[in-house]
Structure 1
Amino acid sequence: MTGRIALLSIDLQRDYLARRGLMPEAETLVANAEALLGYARSKGWLVVHVRTESDADQVMPHRRDVPEVVAGSAGAESPPELTAVDGESVVIKRFFDPFDRPELDERLRESGVARVVLMGVQSHACIRAAAVSAYARGYDVAIATEAVGSDSPLDGDLALEWLDRRAMTSVRLASLGGVSPAPVMWRHVDPTDRTAILFEVESGSPASVAAAADTLRCRQPGLKELPTAERASRLRRWHDDLNARRPDWVEAIVRDVAKPRRDAEGEVAYGLDLLANVAATVALGDEAPHVARHPHGLVGLITPWNNPFALAVGKIAPALGFGNVALLKPAFPGARIATRLIESLEAAGLADFIAVAQGGPSVGRAVANVADAVSITGSTLAGQQLAGLGGHRRIPVQAEMGGNNAAIVDESADLDAAAVDLAAAMFSFSGQRCTAVRRVILLDSIAEAFTERLAAATRALPIGMPSDPATIIGPVISEAKRDQLLTTIASVGTSGGRLLCGGEDGGLEGGSWLAPTIVDHIDPAHPLVCDEQFGPVVALESVTTFDDALAAHDRTGAGLLGALFSTDEARIARFRRVAMAGILSINRARPPFDAGGPFVGWKDSGFGVAEHGRWNRDVYTRVQAVYR
């Protein structure tokens, strides 16, 4: 190839980088793009910045209701590290294809460009359109795959695969020589004190994930060939070691995720129960003599920050117990506990069969791209994205994706007991549990009386430092999360709702505090009703009949947990028959979860089979029929 090279930086603007679900996440994408931009400048490439801008007359039809990158707004600007410098061209486009603007092709040709390298967003839209148009105009096209992103990552991956077979070649930053993005560091700020940094984590990369996977695959035959009884014995040794240091694990949870002490103690107890159950059941035989089970090989384990001990243990134990090696990708606030858990496996002889991949969603996706099976507990978006990737790769995915859980209270319930039970269950750990009730549906006849009781029970809950054994409600995980919740709460009044209690910091300063908040008379289409907020905010709704209550219970897409407070046996039986949730609880908002029972969400709250108990083997093995 002769001729000059041009770098086209496409739509790297704040509004697009802020989109939910962007993969890789904005920090990683910007770091990679900055490294490539610096390389291009050092080599004398032509650099062209392509930006989308909209105004009242020119806006993409599908964005008319929620306009983005409005001309002159901060959202239309690029981050400072990606802004054009003197001598670099800026091309403004209105729609997907930058070559719709004739001046782009003119600028490339007058500069003698033969090859264009693309970076930016979105892979499935503007990047794809630019690649096809450049190819049609005779340019050699390359896409810097680490410096392009998409908020619909499976569509983005498919677009790049399609282009790779036709109109482009892929360029890795490492292949350019000397291009090394600055490591992406994540700082965990103490939720109780915004001035204190608890720890920092350096994010991994797809390359580091692939290297770890290669190492683990070489070791997997050694674990698979161990007798099942020996694997179970090693899990029991791990259990005994964790149990001996139970107070240390409680302290770690209190410190790292600001979970109140009593909840942290409950988490450690539950995690140990899950581990004991796996050790006791992993060697159980199959249901028929001609059925055999085999480990998948390498499994990806993706865990949330709110249960950093129990859910990690609950996935690691069956993964290793059934003979798999594993890559554990914890959410950032749980990173330090995850590392300690892997280290704790050393004494049990299991540490060589698992590795930690630290990072954000893009690292989780990298794990899923190298795994033979995936188990994830996370947001609905994260679970759906990985379920789509699993379908594309034809690997099993088990996903628990959180819930927007509802409780019904009818006129036969003990209102005083129900109010006390619901308040504690909804707001303990500031509502940061996937099974926390977030919507309470009341029969009209008891709505006023129950609302008064619930508000009083909520105001009585102690807010304080997580280390205090008396504390029920600590801070939310971050200041950003607190601010997002406050913004959502503030919108209640404008939609006709009423704030009954909360909505402020609860009298504490210095951290991400938010008093437990109850709203009512709210529009059923409001985000507090429709979407999981994952914080100490609950919406009340009153209905006329029990049929209406059941309909309201199942109105949202979520289906993890449902509760009914009633002494009417006919209604209880009907609720059990028709309620659309994987976990049902009668007359208690927080059921006593059984380590041997299934944990499963329906609808948008789950994908694949249940986990825990005897269902673990369906997650971590593949079945084989053998006849002779």
Structure 2
Amino acid sequence: AILSLDAKNAAIVTKHANLDVAVSECILGALSFNGQRCTALKLIFVQKEIAAEFTAKLSEAVSALKPGLPWEKDVKVTPLPEVNKPPYLKECIDDALAKGASVLNIQGGYTEESFVFPAVVYPVNSEMKLYHEEQFGPIIPVVPFEEIEEPIEYQVNASHGMQVSIFSEDPQEVSRLIDPFVNLVSRVNINCQAQRGPDVFPFTGRKDSAEGTLSVFDALRSFSIRSLVAAKLTESNKELLNTIVRDHDSNFLSTDYIF
């Protein structure tokens, strides 16, 4: 329950965003490790006024990614480790195409054995599998929206609640998004991808994403049962315990500052 961490993390790109930053961070968020991270960006909402420009930039950048094997230089997209993943991704793409979406980038969705080239799918809507299901693979579904309440409403109704990425240079707009989202997800990223670290930060989730708060420190505490040794405060007990500590007879009782 604590480490469940399923997610359908959304990015919200408003008309006030720096599109170059948004495209770069969305690609990192959606396609690092082929999108096979719980923290990956798995749904991108983009305001309609800039949707054409954003998707054009995004598609061009995705098409330029180098495919290959992990140990080859500058490779960004690699084969997938799951036998059933390519057919599932094709199923998701075919479902979107049948309901009005298109694959925008060159070679998007191309499959060869366990390799799938990333696909930018647009426009995605709530009738499609890609809107609701965690694809956990190299598909970037893009949802156009008019009013900022639309991506908020998505998160209200979503079954998972891990992170969100907000792309905007407007302070008032960012503020209006932060306030509802901090009660819907557990980390709000401003002008950057959703991500795991650093380890000093809590790693948290809401709804079906997780129960509890995780960082390295919190994880150790979550999976550890605290134990203690107790005795009444008498002279004989003090002498007994101090002798054990002094002579290093116990691994557990090993600090003398307590006494």
Q: Which amino acid aligns with 1:459?
A: S
Asked whether the equivalents of residues 39 and 196 of structure 2 are also in contact (C-alpha less than 8 Å), the reply is: no
Superposed CA offset, 1:25-65 (max 9, x none): xxxxxxxxxxxxxxxxxxxxxxxxxxxxxxxxxxxxxxxxx
Deviation at 1:449, TM superposition (A): 1.2
Q: Which amino acid aligns with 1:488?
A: C
Work out which of the residue numbers 526, 542, 548 in structure 1 matches 2:128. Answer: 526
| 1:463 correspondence with 2:67 | yes
Work out which of the residue numbers 23, 26, 48 in structure 2 matches 1:422. Answer: 26
Relative to structure 1, is the Cα distance of residues 592 and 618 closer, same or farther in structure 2, using a 3 angstrom cutoff? closer
Deviation at 1:617, TM superposition (A): 5.0
Work out which of the residue numbers 186, 193, 196 in structure 2 matches 1:582. Answer: 186
1:114-133 equivalences under 5 Å are none
Q: Secondary structure at 2:115's aligned position in 1?
A: coil
Residue 503 of structure 1 aligns with which residue? 109
1:1-400 equivalences under 5 Å are 387=1, 398-400=2-4
Deviation at 1:594, TM superposition (A): 1.0
Q: Which amino acid aligns with 1:415?
A: L
Residue 201 of structure 2 aligns with which residue? 597
Relative to structure 1, is the Cα distance of residues 449 and 523 closer, same or farther in structure 2, using a 3 angstrom cutoff? same
Q: Which amino acid aligns with 2:214?
A: E
Q: Report which of the two has the higher share of helix.
A: 1
Unaligned runs of 5+ in 2: 234-259
Superposed CA offset, 1:419-476 (max 9, x none): 1221232112211111110111011111111111111111111111111131111011
Q: Which amino acid aligns with 1:604?
A: D
Fraction of identical pairs, as percent? 26
Q: Structure 2: how far apart are the matches of 1:431 and 1:616?
A: 24
Q: Structure 1: how far apart are the matches of 2:155 and 2:3?
A: 22
* RMSD, aligned CA: 2.3
Q: Could you say which structure has the larger radius of gyration? A: 1
Deviation at 1:590, TM superposition (A): 4.0
Q: Which amino acid aligns with 2:178?
A: R
Q: Which amino acid aligns with 1:429?
A: F
Residue 448 of structure 1 aligns with which residue? 52
May I ask how many residue pairs the two structures share in their alignment? Answer: 227
Deviation at 1:495, TM superposition (A): 1.6
Q: Structure 2: how far apart are the matches of 1:569 and 1:500?
A: 32
Residue 486 of structure 1 aligns with which residue? 90
Deviation at 1:480, TM superposition (A): 2.0
| 1:611 correspondence with 2:214 | yes
Q: Structure 1: how far apart are the matches of 2:179 and 2:221?
A: 25
Deviation at 1:623, TM superposition (A): 6.1
Residue 476 of structure 1 aligns with which residue? 80
Superposed CA offset, 1:374-410 (max 9, x none): xxxxxxxxxxxxx5xxxxxxxxxx2333211100001
Q: Which amino acid aligns with 1:504?
A: Y
| 1:406 correspondence with 2:10 | yes
Q: Which amino acid aligns with 1:425?
A: G
Q: Structure 1: how far apart are the matches of 2:217 and 2:84?
A: 39
Work out which of the residue numbers 428, 432, 437 in structure 1 matches 2:41. Answer: 437
| 1:620 correspondence with 2:240 | no
Residue 131 of structure 1 aligns with which residue? none
Q: Structure 1: how far apart are the matches of 2:61 and 2:157?
A: 27
Asked whether the equivalents of residues 99 and 127 of structure 2 are also in contact (C-alpha less than 8 Å), the reply is: no
Higher RCO, Cα 8 Å, sep 6+ = 2
Q: Secondary structure at 2:213's aligned position in 1?
A: coil
Using the size of structure 2 for normalisation, the TM-score is: 0.80
